A and B are shown apart, each in its own frame.
Chain A
């Protein structure tokens, strides 16, 4: 019966499956490749395995063409992603990472949309040293990328500390439980002795070919949907009663990535299928992962994410399969309500501690001449006794500050001119961009380097319309793989070619609804010309409390989309 639902099972496997199987549990020839002095790259197959170790081989695309003419290989370099479940880091860890950024990377840190740290521009010769220092500070990069469960996200909510710490504990445990067990990581980076791995002992959950594709888990604590729970392969929505954590609603099959021009790919929102008591979370996650392991598409990586498995089999089939594997049934989903998916900035107090959320544009921690953010945060880390929390919106919380330290930190914030971002437009405060050029190999258009200047131009329109303080989410990515979760933004721009973007409108303000293609392949002038009348009209015609994403649907600008299966259909209507 399942054969009819999953025809891919009869098709030849994608080449990546062979690479995984033959890699000896993610070893490949990475170790040898690091020693090769003739190239700053590693072999193509090893680059695929390296992802599982938390690193991507990239190159500086700004200089690729010039170097090719000079008969030089591309300026190869590596990105390292540091896994931090729930995005929590101690001040000591912050200082270590800050030091590595200057010593081996390009002098900056990127706080990612999945609450992890990213370094760019690390040369092959420094890769191992960087890995060792990261591990030395008790952080880890294993499974930060690759066909495995990635960094587990969790709401970093600092003002309901008890609930947060419970939820954070679960996210840590999930992360640990679903980590690959292979010893390859320790052998390659930490000089451990070689161990002979066997399938049963090594990867009891994954097996030797791991998952068909990446797998993302997040935990949300309503009313905040900052983790964008509907974008995850597997989402847990904390259900609180009288301030106590009772358990989680389970949502499955969300995901942002798609491929331009391929209507068999689409962004999808996760669907809530039931409720589980809190202590069943690990067991449930493991079973969900094994279902994807067994049924996911291993023939076509473009259709390999869990969302396609769910859509192929149907939600009912999945629930039955999960209940059967668990040996007990999920309860009926409980009520909950999300209000927004953005961050709330500035100081707040909770449980006698202070927490300061500050806006970091596109998550890039760096120093510029008029904004020494990196230096300021370093000085704060030196005196800070609480922790740092990376938000899912690429922002930072200086958390658990005592009343006494608050003055000191306030002083440092002032000294370095660091602001929480309240003076920016509400649009800017609710903006996100992925990395894209020059380092990301997938980028088709600029993103992080371009969004700030585009925002300034949109802000002119906002001022004209008088809605500078109106919260609107806007997200940009340089390609359709969806790192900044563009599918859920009220305004999204997805790159197609240098200077050209597809524009999507109508996402839900609380991240509950997908947006719809509005304009295809347009440049800056067209972007501004398209937004201008809509924003002005919105300012005039909006109902009380109505968000922009809801307005464009009511006004008939775009179709409402509730399932990724309708994503392309809705777009074609407007074409």
Chain B
């Protein structure tokens, strides 16, 4: 492996040195070096505390092998409070010994933090027919999903509470115990299953676990991460390709679900993709580009209509790469949209009177009407192409463009994942049901485990203020709410508490309140200061976000005069315009401005980047 400026964090001079040195090292030297390099990073705090001169390498390595006291995490899943009680008893016992210990209910614990856990103690009840208790369900599902982290180096022990008279006695505890081992954890004390009279068994478990933990406090265990283990993890990063729009990363789909509930007129997919290995990073406001695939049914219908051979090779680019016709139409070309240039190119390919007529300048209205809502299958049906070959035909087609979606998750909070919020486009036109290319694919065909080609698209025009003190007003009905989820998740991770105000709207409260529990949680935590919602179809009179803004015009204007940043994301044609008008009206009424002054005020906000929009 050759280090380069492009694939490593080093400059030219450094890469030259390293490329020179690295091939000459023996295996033992490599191991020693990796251990040496790893130490200052992981041991930064103690090293600073000792305030001695720079450690010599031998000392450093010694330090690296001496384990710091392991942190202990106690998690409980409880129906009646018994589990919590046992967990708290354990906590008290460990705290008396000054151990580094934290406690939380299973559903308050973010599964991604499992990676930071060293010694894990789980106390859990079991619900009904062997199901996890309500406050453990989410954690349970993550642990048993493909998103579960590897738990190498983690030690654990499980206490289960149950009722012998049930068939699935202590099932949840058993499940956790087995799964933690499968994920690579080491059982530090055997699981104990307690019946209704749990006190004695639970005490036994507490004592047993406590004994083991105390032992490991006193005698450093030998299997702490050695330099060899470090080498394996650090050497991975070097020979990685750089992913981009031109070289998209194939991201595994982790989750794909419809956020709308029964009774909704809409479908909004929440998609979680794995970015592990991509080296991507992103900020709130950025988008993810996806290269979609055309609907196979549409492709097959198109090929059948033309009596072409799906396996015939066709060129897919100027470099002369070829693929089968079917694959090319699936992934390389756009076939769902008709444009004027396409018609013009087609007119050169074959003779057709109607087509020639449509292209005349005075036929613009008629041409537009024809292009609207039609696709290539309509085109080849409406016009006799004659014996145009597939190879010729695909050359008039546009390359499949990527679709951009505002990212709905925070890189800081979930560096290995990206979440998207995709409204399914579906409509009936010209005698056929039609779906958006990418949204249709996501709604109908993308299953967890499959991969999508993606890249990060920076959006410098939709950036949240670096200043935590600046108030932030966010307007985002429907899928427009996605970037705010990213922003608030990032603030939660960074533990930043500025003033934030979200205006959200959709059709129905019961079925269309996207990410409802997320906002509720952030409101509770103070990450989100205020939230106002408008559900247009729940009341006789339709209410939209701009109405809620006007209802709060005094306070809204107050925030703006305090320097608030205003963000608008979502539908361009109606919502963004209505919201802008609402803002202007608020300026006029609350700031005693004329229409012109209000316009200027908004312009100034835009220049100061205090009014940013991401509309589509």
Q: Which residues of A contact B (CB under 8 A)?
A: 37-40, 63, 65-73, 75, 123, 125, 260-262, 444, 496-500, 520-521
CB–CB A71/B270 < 8 A: yes
CB–CB A63/B533 < 8 A: no
CB–CB A38/B261 < 8 A: no
26 A-B pairs, CB-CB below 8 angstroms?
A37-B532, A38-B533, A40-B509, A66-B261, A67-B261, A70-B258, A70-B260, A71-B270, A71-B514, A71-B515, A71-B517, A71-B518, A72-B511, A72-B513, A72-B517, A73-B516, A73-B517, A73-B520, A75-B261, A75-B510, A123-B510, A125-B538, A261-B163, A497-B128, A500-B129, A500-B166
Q: Please, which residue of chain A has its CB at the minimum distance from the CB of B518?
A: A71
CB–CB A521/B167 < 8 A: yes
Q: Does B196 contact A (CB under 8 A)?
A: yes
In whole angstroms, what is the CA distance A383 to B79 when docked?
51
In whole angstroms, what is the CA distance A67 to B512 when docked?
11
| B3 to A: closest C-beta gap in Å | 43
A125 — which chain B residues lie within 8 A by C-beta? 538
CB–CB B510/A497 < 8 A: no
Q: Does B156 contact A (CB under 8 A)?
A: no
Q: Does B137 contact A (CB under 8 A)?
A: yes
CB–CB A70/B510 < 8 A: no
In chain B, residues 270-290, which have Cβ atoms closer than 8 Å to a Cβ of chain A? 270
CB–CB A499/B129 < 8 A: yes
CB–CB A38/B520 < 8 A: yes
Q: Please, which residue of chain B has its CB at the minimum distance from the CB of A523?
A: B167
Q: Please, which residue of chain B has its CB at the minimum distance from the CB of A40?
A: B509
In whole angstroms, what is the CA distance A38 to B517 when docked?
10
B258 — which chain A residues lie within 8 A by C-beta? 70
| B93 to A: closest C-beta gap in Å | 22
Contact of B166 among A68, A72, A73, A497 (CB under 8 A): A497
- What total of A-B pairs shows CB separation below 8 Å? 70
A71 — which chain B residues lie within 8 A by C-beta? 259, 270, 514-518
Q: How many residues in B have their beta carbons less than 8 Å from beta carbons of A?
A: 32
Q: Does B148 contact A (CB under 8 A)?
A: no
CB–CB A37/B516 < 8 A: no
In whole angstroms, what is the CA distance A39 to B516 when docked?
8
Known: A70-B257, A72-B516, A444-B128. A37 touches B166 (CB 8 A): no
A521 — which chain B residues lie within 8 A by C-beta? 165-167
CB–CB B166/A496 < 8 A: yes
CB–CB B519/A38 < 8 A: yes
Known: A71-B270, A260-B163, A498-B128. A37 touches B518 (CB 8 A): no
Q: Does B523 contact A (CB under 8 A)?
A: yes
CB–CB A72/B261 < 8 A: yes
Q: Please, which residue of chain B has its CB at the minimum distance from the CB of A499?
A: B129
Contact of A261 among B138, B196, B511 (CB under 8 A): B196
B270 — which chain A residues lie within 8 A by C-beta? 70-71
Q: Does B531 contact A (CB under 8 A)?
A: yes
A261 — which chain B residues lie within 8 A by C-beta? 163, 165, 196
Q: Please, which residue of chain B has its CB at the minimum distance from the CB of A64?
A: B134
In whole angstroms, what is the CA distance A444 to B163 when docked?
14
Q: Please, which residue of chain A has its CB at the minimum distance from the CB of B127?
A: A497
A499 — which chain B residues lie within 8 A by C-beta? 129
In whole angstroms, what is the CA distance A40 to B511 when docked?
12
Contact of A68 among B138, B511, B514 (CB under 8 A): B138
| B321 to A: closest C-beta gap in Å | 42
Q: Please, which residue of chain A has its CB at the minimum distance from the CB of B510?
A: A75
Known: A37-B533, A261-B196. A70 touches B163 (CB 8 A): no
CB–CB A63/B261 < 8 A: yes
Q: Does B262 contact A (CB under 8 A)?
A: yes
Known: A39-B520, A261-B163, A261-B196. A70 touches B261 (CB 8 A): yes
In whole angstroms, what is the CA distance A39 to B524 when docked?
12
Besides the known contacts A520-B165, A521-B166, 19 further A-B residue pairs in the complex with CB atoms under 8 A apart: A38-B533, A39-B516, A40-B509, A40-B510, A63-B261, A63-B262, A67-B261, A70-B257, A70-B259, A70-B260, A70-B270, A71-B514, A75-B261, A75-B510, A123-B510, A261-B165, A262-B196, A500-B166, A521-B165
